[in-house]
Amino acid sequence: MACSNLWGLQGRERDKVAGFSHGMKQRLGIAQTLLHQPDLIVLDEPTTGLDPQGIIDIRNLILQPGNEHRKTVILSSHNLSEIEIISNRMVIINQGRSVVEGTVSDLLNSEELVVSLEVDQVEKALRILQEEFKDVPMPKIEGHFLELALSRTDVAQYNQALVRNGLSVYSIESKRKLEDYFIKIVNN
């Protein structure tokens, strides 16, 4: 496959770079970086200013070298939701100092989750949880949803208690985000 086709640049080989969109320039920059087959690739804010499709395209381009060619990609970004999707390891730097580092999943799994439980009977669900568990955190209630800060093991236990008591649990959604973790770490 030709390089221009691989990077979405096919048919643009003779065009002036000045006429390229921001996303096209980002793709071209990554393609130029990979021409020399480096073992280490450093990208600074590669998705800044891109539309959603451009972000997805650049994300796929970033993931491709690391996955297919055994390259190490160091990505500097303030877009933490993108880091959560792309990265397997991270370092949080605050005021020029490394505050924490590790795998994204380990760092996030060490924290409490904010969990949204969708149930058929919210008031009954809250009553059951308060009867079966001491120190149930005060939930935020919206419609059929209970939102609570829980540990990972609490999620399973709370779900089992609700089902055992005849309630329907329609969904369990973790709302923990890398942004929340970052704020907690840098504010301590």
Mind listing the pLDDT tens digit for each residue in 26-70? 878 877 887 888 888 888 888 887 788 878 877 887 777 555 667
Q: What share of the chain is helix, strand, coil (3-state, %, to 5)?
A: 45, 25, 30
C-alpha–C-alpha distance, residues 176 and 174, integer Å: 6
Instruction: State residue 170's pLDDT score.
Output: 95
Is residue 90 within 8 Å of 101, Cβ to Cβ?
yes
User: What domains are there in the chain, each with its CATH number?
Assistant: 3-87 (3.40.50.300), 112-187 (3.30.70.100)
pLDDT digits (tens, 9 = 90+) for 143-159: 999 988 887 788 889 99
Q: Calculate mean pLDDT across residues 69-82.
A: 79
Confidence of residue 161 (pLDDT cuts 50, 70, 90): very high
Instruction: State residue 154's pLDDT score.
Output: 86
- For residue 15, give the 3-state DSSP assignment: coil
CA distances from 182 to 31, 83, 92, 185 (A): 31, 12, 7, 5
Confidence of residue 117 (pLDDT cuts 50, 70, 90): very high
